[in-house]
Amino acid sequence: MDEVTRKRFDDLWSQDRAAQNTAYIAILDATDKPVSWAYDVWDEVVANLGHADNHNRAIAAQVLCNLAKSDPQQRMLKDFDKLLAVTRDERFVTARHCLQALWKVGVVGPQQRALLVDGLARRFEDCAEEKNRTLIRYDIAQSLRNVYDATQDETVKATALALIETEGDPKYRKKYARLWKG
C-alpha cells in the first residue's frame, strides 16, 4: 500500500469530517475495482464495524462491501455476519448505508451470493416489527435486484419475489414488486 492510500485510510477514521469525507470518496473510488492492498486494511475495516462513532461504522460497512471484490482468500465468508449486524445499527442511517452497499458482496461469487441472499432473506423476515421495516424491506428488494442484474442468477430473483409475496400490506408489496418489473 502506498503512502497516499495509507494516509487516506487513516483519515477515514478521523474526527475531522472534511478529511474523513475526502478520504471516504477517494477510498470508495479506489475500491470500485479490485485492489492489491485489501488485506493490509481488512482487519482494520472489520474492527471499525463496531466503532463508537456511527459515521465510522457506516464507512467501514461500505468500504468492506467494496473490498469484497478484492478478497481471493474469501475472508468475507467469515466476516459477513459482522457486516450484516450493521444492518441492525442503533442509528438507522448507518444501517441503511450498509443495506444499500451489501449487494456488492453478492456479485463476487456463488458462495458470497448464497451467504448474502440467505442473510437478506433472514433480515427481511426479522424486521417485521421494526419501526423502519418498509425502508429495510425496500432496500433488501433493491439489493437483490442489483445482484440479479449483475449475475442473472434466477435463484436470486425467485427468492426476492417469494419474500415480496410475504409482505402483508398490499401497498408495499406492490412497491417492492415494481423493482422487478421489466
Task: Please give the backbone phi and psi of residue 109, each rounded to the nearest 5 degrees, phi first.
Answer: -175, 170
Segment 124-181, tens digit of pLDDT: 999 999 999 999 999 999 999 999 999 999 999 999 999 999 999 999 999 999 999 8
Which of 50, 164, 145 shows the shortest CA–CA distance to 106? 145
Domain 1-87 carries which CATH code? 1.25.10
Query: What is the b/e burial string over 45-77, where b = at least 16 CB atoms within 10 angstroms of the residue's CB?
Result: bbebbeeeebbbbbbbbbbbbbbbbbbeeebbe
CA 160 to chain centroid: 17
Let me know: does 113 contact 160? Beta carbons within 8 Å: no
pTM of the model: 0.95
| Cα gap 8→48, rounded to integer Å | 15
Per-residue pLDDT for 73 more than 90? yes
Q: Give the pLDDT confidence score for residue 159 in this predicted structure.
A: 98
- Cβ-based neighbour number of residue 131 at 10 Å: 9
**What is the end-to-end Cα distance of the chain in Å, rounded?**
43
- Which single residue is written with the C-alpha cell 472489520? 46
The one-letter amino acid at 90: E
**SS3 label, residue 13:** coil
| Cα gap 5→7, rounded to integer Å | 5
Segment 19-68, tens digit of pLDDT: 999 999 999 999 999 999 999 999 999 999 999 999 999 999 999 999 99
Q: Grid coordinates representing 140? A: 433488501
- Give the start-to-end residue ranges of the domains of the chain: 1-87, 102-182
